[in-house]
A = this chain, B = another copy of it.
Amino acid sequence: MSISPELLLRLEMQDLQDRYMAAIDEDRLEDWPKLFVEDCLYEIIPKENEDAGFPAPVMYCDSAGMLRDRVISLRNANIYAQPHYRHFTSGLTCRMEDGEVVMTSSYVVINTHTDGSSFVYQAGSYKDRVVKTAEGWRFKAKRVVYDTLRVQTLLAYPI
- Compute how far the CA of A104 lies from the CA of B116 in the bound complex, rounded to whole angstroms: 22
Which residues from chain B contact A117 at a C-beta distance below 8 Å? 148, 150
Minimum Cβ distance to chain B for residue A32 (Å): 12
- Which of A1-9, A37-45, A69-77 is the contact stretch? A1-9
- Interface mask (A34-70 → B, CB under 8 Å = 1, otherwise 0): 0000000000000100000000000000000000000
Tell yes or no: A99 within 8 A of B by CB. Answer: no
Which residues from chain B contact A123 at a C-beta distance below 8 Å? 84, 86, 110, 112, 118
Residue in B5, B19, B122 whose beta carbon sits within 8 Å of that of A118 in the complex: B122
Interface size class of A (residues with CB under 8 A): 35 or more
Residue contact B19 to A93, C-beta cutoff 8 Å: yes
- Interface mask (A18-37 → B, CB under 8 Å = 1, otherwise 0): 11011001100000000000
Minimum Cβ distance to chain B for residue A136 (Å): 11
Which residues from chain B contact A22 at a C-beta distance below 8 Å? 91-93, 104-106
Residue contact B92 to A108, C-beta cutoff 8 Å: no
5 closest Cβ pairs, A-B complex: A116-B149, A116-B150, A22-B91, A21-B91, A112-B147
